[in-house]
Amino acid sequence: MFKKFTRDDIHSRSNVKSSIQRTLKTKLVNQYPQLEPVIDELIPKKSQVEVIKCEDKIQLYAVNGEVLFFQQFDELIPSLKLVHKFPEAYPTVQVDRGAIKFVLSGANIMCPGLTSPGAKLPDAPGFEKDSVVIINAENKDSALAIGRLLMSTEDIKSINKGHGVELIHHLGDPLWNFSIE
Amino acid sequence: MSLREVVYCGVCSYPPEYCEFTGKLKRCKVWLKENHPERYTQLYGANDEEEEEANDVAAVGKKLGESSIGEERENKLEKDLLKLQTKQENREQRELAKKLSSKVIIKREARTKRKFIVAISGLEVFEIDMKKLAKTFASKFATGCSVSKNVEKKEEVVIQGDVLEDVEAYIHSLLKEKGMENVKVETIDTKKKKKPTTETK
């Protein structure tokens, strides 16, 4: 999603009304229920959320100059900065060491990278197809990417071929390097 | 439950455990050692002297992960990373050389009668945001200032008014801030011509 993303792709920037900010927060909590205890820490009540509308209907939401989450359609997707702050709240998969290099250059994740000994997938029932997952790596503490499952985790285990996760956002992509002054 | 504070590497902006994949590992390590020594020991081990000797990806790879992808693939990965690192280093060297060899040109041109414009070109190499610079100049000198393309299709900052000396001083301080004091800054002062210059903007 953020393969190419520059300043020119930004259409408008505006502050979010506090009422909408409240709805946003509840929406975020609905999506990731475990965020609830820390949501006020992430987005303090007094803070000003800024919405940045970009090309392809992408909207970034920033608090204190840091992009915390974004959405393209209805779903809110956390940015890596937000994930790093509180990684426990999101569905997670883990890739093996050999895959890190490719993920960091933005490749989709192939099934074998998710099923090999160094990788981890959740036990059954696992996650549905099309759900957003954060991607962790073997022996690393922090997440390195965020993606969308192209097949359910059970399918990944059984089929074990082809693309498993479509990458949305990874370390070092233009969104990661993006900064609002 | 509380939020986690994540340290990001000052060199490559990744969380430090991913530094090995950026090809800037050497500089990353130096940074981490200076700024977060406890994290450094955690990642790369405490034995400094030995570390200096084996300052390459292979050693770190071994420390970082008792990996599960097999000896052969691990070796290949290490080789690839090493290659990436050398590539990155070469690129950085080239860039540095380019920076050192290029120069900033500040030019004063005469417009009509006693009016001048000052054009600054050659800034793009030094990662200076021209638009922002134009804005600062505009408010600093209280004149019009804009970014436009010059004859060679390169971007330049054009300031209205005779502010050559001030601009020169400011550019010098700006470059000094970026740690590039040895960059040549050339000033050209074109004498007033009879007919106005062909520059349109």
The CATH number assigned to the domain holding A163 equals 3.10.400.20
A77 and A139 co-located in one domain: no
Least confident segment among A91-95, B71-75, B197-201: B197-201
Whether pLDDT at A175 is above 50: yes
**Assigned domain for A177 exists:** no
Q: What is the mean pLDDT of residues B72-91?
A: 77
**Assigned domain for B200 exists:** no
Percent residues over pLDDT 70 in chain B: 75
B90 and B106 co-located in one domain: no
- Angle at CA B51, nearest 5°, toward B46 and B57? 115
Q: What is the mean pLDDT of residues A47-59?
A: 85
B108 and B84 co-located in one domain: no
Least confident segment among A17-21, A95-99, B64-68, B140-144: B64-68
A62 and A119 co-located in one domain: no
B117 and B178 co-located in one domain: yes
Domain boundary among A62, A85, A108: A85
**Assigned domain for A2 exists:** no
A39 and A27 co-located in one domain: yes
B63 and B129 co-located in one domain: no
Q: Residue B33 sits in which domain range?
A: 16-99
**Assigned domain for B50 exists:** yes
Amino acid B69: pLDDT: 56
**Assigned domain for B5 exists:** no
Contact B68 A117 (CB under 8 A): yes
Amino acid B191: pLDDT: 60
Q: What is the mean pLDDT of residues B95-100?
A: 76
A36 and A57 co-located in one domain: yes
Q: Can you read off the two tokens belonging to residue A161? A: 């071929």
A150 and A102 co-located in one domain: yes
* C-alpha pair distances (Å), A79 with each of A62, A147, B14, B157, B163: 10, 11, 14, 36, 45
Chain A: residue whose CA lies nearest to B20 = A101
* Chain B: closest CA distance from residue A93 (Å): 16
The residues, any chain, with a CB within 8 Å of residue A72's CB and separated by 6 or more, are A1, A56, A57, A58, A59
B153 or A172, greater pLDDT: A172
Interface predicted TM-score of the whole assembly (ipTM), two decimals: 0.74
**Assigned domain for A175 exists:** no
A68 and A96 co-located in one domain: no
Mutate to test the interface with B, among A94, A142, A175 (most CBs of B within 10 A): A142
Amino acid A124: pLDDT: 67
Amino acid A68: pLDDT: 85
Whether pLDDT at A32 is above 80: yes
Domain boundary among B99, B128, B160: B99
Amino acid A10: pLDDT: 80
Rounded to whole angstroms, the Cα distance separating A52 from A59 reads: 6
Rounded to whole angstroms, the Cα distance separating B31 from B16 reads: 10
Amino acid B122: pLDDT: 75
Whether pLDDT at B142 is above 70: yes
Amino acid B131: pLDDT: 79
Q: Residue A129 sits in which domain range?
A: 87-170
Q: Can you read off the two tokens belonging to residue A174? A: 């233009």
* Chain B: closest CA distance from residue A101 (Å): 6
Overall domain count for chain B? 2
Q: Kindly report the average pLDDT of chain B as a whole number.
A: 72
Q: Which residues of A touch B15 (CB under 8 A)?
A: 84, 140-142, 171
Chain A: residue whose CA lies nearest to B71 = A98
Amino acid B68: pLDDT: 55
Amino acid B63: pLDDT: 47
B197 or B93, greater pLDDT: B93
**Assigned domain for B93 exists:** yes
A91 and A166 co-located in one domain: yes
pLDDT band at B201; cut points 50, 70, 90: very low
A163 and A116 co-located in one domain: yes
A81 and A117 co-located in one domain: no
Overall domain count for chain A? 2
**Distance of alpha carbon A82 from the chain centroid:** 9
B115 and B144 co-located in one domain: yes
DSSP characters over B37-83: HHHHHHHH-S-HHHHHHT-SHHHHHHHH---SS-HHHHHHHHHHHHH
B90 and B112 co-located in one domain: no
Residues B41-81: tens digit of each pLDDT: 777 765 544 444 444 444 444 444 455 556 676 777 777 77
**Assigned domain for A180 exists:** no
Amino acid B45: pLDDT: 66
Q: Kindly report the average pLDDT of chain A as a whole number.
A: 82
Residues B111-135: tens digit of each pLDDT: 777 788 888 877 777 777 777 788 8
B119 and B156 co-located in one domain: yes
Chain B: residue whose CA lies nearest to A170 = B14
- Give yes or no for a cis peptide into B196 (omega within 30° of 0): no
Spatial strand order in the sheet of A10-15? A10-15, A49-54, A59-63, A66-71, A76-78
Domain boundary among B99, B128, B159: B99
A27 and A63 co-located in one domain: yes
Reported pTM:
0.67
Q: Which residues of B touch A42 (CB under 8 A)?
A: 3
**Assigned domain for B113 exists:** yes
A65 and A21 co-located in one domain: yes
End-to-end Cα, chain B, rounded Å: 59
Domain boundary among B48, B70, B99: B99
Domain of residue B184, CATH code: 3.30.780.10
Least confident segment among A97-101, A124-128, B139-143: A124-128
Contact A141 B1 (CB under 8 A): no
Q: Which residues of B touch A94 (CB under 8 A)?
A: none
Residues A114-171: tens digit of each pLDDT: 888 777 777 767 788 888 888 888 777 788 888 888 888 888 888 888 888 888 888 8
B95 and B108 co-located in one domain: no
Of A86, A118, A144, nearest to B68 by CB-CB distance is A118
Least confident segment among A102-106, B73-77, B164-168: B73-77
